[in-house]
Amino acid sequence: MVVNLLHLLFPQECLLCGKTGKWLCFACRAKLSLAQNQICPVCLRSSLTGMTHFGCQKKNSLNGLYSPFAYRKEVKKLIGSFKFQMVKSLADTMADLLLVELKKNNNLISFWRKNKFILTPLPLHPIREKWRGFNQSLLIEEGLAKSFNLSNSSSFLKRVVFAFPQVGLDKKTRQKNIKNQFLASPAVKNKNIIIFDDVWTTGATLKEAGKELKRQGAKSVWGLTFCR
Ligand SMILES: [Zn+2]
Ligand SMILES: [Zn+2]
């Protein structure tokens, strides 16, 4: 709360270089590195549109993944500021950055619109959300839904187990740590859903969330993350 109040009293400054004006100045914005390609969320090999390869599809796997930015250097710093310094109003900046990249991929947006995909944020456990004061993924996802004219819902998934953060765990431990953490609403049945999260690391979290949505009958599930 104190942090938010301070941001009301003092002007925004670029989180990367300190220049006064915006959370991200024009020069630093240009420095954010883009992911070199999109990948199939199952085999992690290149996929032109991010759609899961035909041969990789399994019943409960994600149907696609789109992550425009590369999780390193400036992008890493930006995400860190958002998560840990609780800069709530950074959500608009990040939604904006995502929009610019997604607009370059108009086919994907048309595909999502045509098939009535519904955006949903990756939920935090209520205790963690209370501690942090907000769910950063929810804030960005709401901005995106509005700009893209996509429906959204924040009641599709719940986090029912309070687990350790995934940061610093190896791939195998992450998979174990995240197992059965989510509970999907029966309302997801036959729906096409895009789960939004800020970062794709090993994908364990998004995959587990997707699996749970499919267990409740979701028709197809895409992952959308700010970076990878
Ligand atoms: Zn800057
Ligand atoms: Zn594949």
Ligand nearest to the CA of 48: 2
Ligand nearest to the CA of 56: 2
Q: Which residue has the higher pLDDT, 127 or 88?
A: 127
Chain-wide mean pLDDT for the chain?
A: 89
Q: Which residue has the higher pLDDT, 157 or 177?
A: 157
Between the CA of 67 and the centroid of ligand 2 the distance, in Å, is: 16
21 close to 13: Cβ distance less than 8 angstroms: yes
Pairing between β-strand 157-159 and β-strand 182-184 as defined by DSSP bridges? antiparallel
In tens, the pLDDT along 24-54 reads 999 999 999 999 999 999 999 999 999 999 9
Contacts of 139 by beta carbon, 8 Å cutoff, 6+ apart = 88, 91, 95
pLDDT-derived band of residue 86, with 50, 70 and 90 as boundaries? Answer: low
In tens, the pLDDT along 93-141 reads 889 999 999 988 888 999 999 999 999 999 998 988 888 888 889 999 9
Between the CA of 119 and the centroid of ligand 2 the distance, in Å, is: 23
Ligand nearest to the CA of 45: 2
Q: Is the pLDDT of residue 3 over 70?
A: no
Task: Give the residue from 215, 173, 225, 220 showing the smallest Cα distance to 38.
Answer: 225
68 close to 33: Cβ distance less than 8 angstroms: no
Could you write out the DSSP letters of every residue in 143-168?
HHHHHHT-EE-SSSEEE-S----STT
pLDDT in the model for residue 176: 79
In tens, the pLDDT along 206-218 reads 999 999 999 999 9
pTM of the model: 0.90
Q: State the Cα–Cα distance between residues 16 and 30, nearest whole angstrom.
A: 12
pLDDT-derived band of residue 1, with 50, 70 and 90 as boundaries? Answer: very low
Instruction: Please give the CATH architecture assigned to the domain spanning 38-68+90-227.
Output: 3-Layer(aba) Sandwich (3.40)
Report, as an integer, the average pLDDT of 201-226. Answer: 95
Between the CA of 205 and the centroid of ligand 2 the distance, in Å, is: 18
Annotated domain spans of the chain: 38-68+90-227
pLDDT in the model for residue 154: 92
Q: State the Cα–Cα distance between residues 202 and 44, nearest whole angstrom.
A: 10
21 close to 12: Cβ distance less than 8 angstroms: yes
Q: Is the pLDDT of residue 2 over 70?
A: no
Q: State the Cα–Cα distance between residues 187 and 27, nearest whole angstrom.
A: 44
pLDDT in the model for residue 29: 92
